[in-house]
Amino acid sequence: MNELNFRTLDLNLLRVFDEVMAERNLTRAAHNLAMTQPAVSNALKRRRESLGDELVRRAGYGVEPTPTALALWPTVRDALGQLRESLAPGGFDPAQAHNAFVIAMADATAAKVVPGLVDILENEAPGVNLRVLPLTTRDPRELIESGSADLAIGHFPGVIAELTAVHLQEHSPRFLYQRLYDGEYVVVMRRGHPLAGRPIDLDAYCAARHLLVSFSGRPFGFVDEALAARSRQRRVVLTVNQFFTAGRVVATTDLLTVLPRHFVGATGMEHELALCELPLPVPAVHVDALWHRQAAHSSAHRWLREAVTRASASGFATGHGPTPIPVPPP
């Protein structure tokens, strides 16, 4: 960009460019900016002329950025975020704030995180309200995108894998995450179960009757996928969508279930349950916080994320504590 173009550049064009890059769709970008689609197209045209690059090309139902656009976007996004934060009156003062935050998470996650969050609110932000939204999916991006939740906490393996792949290709993925905890899955049963107190081999495991915890209600989980890869299967006789329910059922029956080790205590039945290692390897369980990149520069949202990090460190400290994980740059 030459000096003359920079001096005459309309900085509002940067907002349009940022939104189009985030949405990869002119119609959605126009809606978010309260503009018409022709106005967005015209702004992009002016931006192209100032840079000498087409920036985006039509692709399918949206647009695809050029290498120049991908290289430019992180700088534009960070500059706009810093500008918004600088112009915000007074920033976020937790002691004086009256914000209402919404966090989406499953029951067992809430049992680990919410007590610490309430303690932080009472001591640091007495005017702030918190609402926990039940999480019934492994992909909460739609909840966050729609504004129904400020943050989602849980095990999102598919989402994190996708974001990691996107992050390798683009400097600014639409969603950001932070690892809060690394753990493992274990077999859970009642203390008086015939298989309790000893290692379980694969034959005994497959011969038993099982309870599956599935947020979606689908009667087939990652353990079944791991078994299928070995040409084995188990009989799932009950599928539920809550860890609390799973704990209470297996405590009074001969069913086996598989739970994250750190969530066993959250069932409320820990002293009535026995644990043992799974007889086959399965992926580790991770607890991540997920949020939209548009919230990255919000001082209120930054405070919320820091509070969640502290509450998680306290809540997951029993047993296997949280493993420090580098936080992706905002």
Cα 58 to Cα 24, 63, 172, 237, distances in angstroms: 9, 4, 20, 49
Neighbours of 106 (CB within 10 A): 24
For residues 122 and 94, is the Cβ–Cβ distance under 8 A?
Answer: no
For residues 224 and 271, is the Cβ–Cβ distance under 8 A?
Answer: no
Backbone dihedral region for residue 58 (phi beyond 0: left; psi -120 to 50: alpha; all else: beta): beta
pLDDT in tens, the chain (330 residues): 444 455 666 778 888 888 888 888 899 889 888 899 999 999 888 878 777 788 888 888 888 888 888 888 878 877 887 777 677 656 789 999 999 999 999 888 898 899 999 999 999 999 999 999 988 888 999 999 888 899 999 999 889 988 888 655 555 678 899 999 988 999 999 999 999 999 999 999 999 999 999 877 787 888 999 999 999 999 999 999 888 889 999 999 999 999 988 888 877 788 999 999 999 999 888 899 999 887 887 889 999 999 999 999 998 875 433 332 333 333
- Regarding beta strands 151-154 and 129-134, do their DSSP bridges make them parallel or antiparallel, or are they unpaired? unpaired
DSSP state letters, 107-130: HHHHHHHHHHHHHHHHHH-TT-EE
Alpha helices in the chain (DSSP H): 3-8, 12-23, 26-33, 37-51, 67-87, 107-124, 141-145, 157-169, 202-207, 222-228, 243-251, 299-315
Q: pTM to 2 decimals?
A: 0.69
Q: What is the pLDDT of residue 104?
A: 96
Distance of alpha carbon 125 from alpha carbon 128, whole angstroms: 6
* pLDDT tens for each residue of 161-184: 888 886 555 556 788 999 999 889
Q: What is the pLDDT of residue 189?
A: 96
Q: What is the pLDDT of residue 89?
A: 59
Residue 233 φ/ψ, nearest 5 degrees: -150, 160
Q: What is the pLDDT of residue 60?
A: 82
Q: What is the pLDDT of residue 330?
A: 38
DSSP state letters, 160-178: HHHHHHHHHH-S--SEEEE
* pLDDT tens for each residue of 296-308: 878 899 999 999 9
| Residue 79: both structure tokens together | 């500059």
Q: What is the pLDDT of residue 229?
A: 95
Q: What is the pLDDT of residue 226?
A: 94
Triad 12, 15, 17: Cα angle to 5°:
110
Question: Please, what are the domains in the chain?
Answer: 3-87 (1.10.10.10), 100-183+285-315 (3.40.190.10), 185-276 (3.40.190.10)
Q: Cα torsion for 148, 327, 99, 116, to the nearest 10°? A: 100
Q: Is the dihedral of CA 103, 106, 112, 118 positive or negative?
A: positive
Distance of alpha carbon 102 from alpha carbon 150, whole angstroms: 5
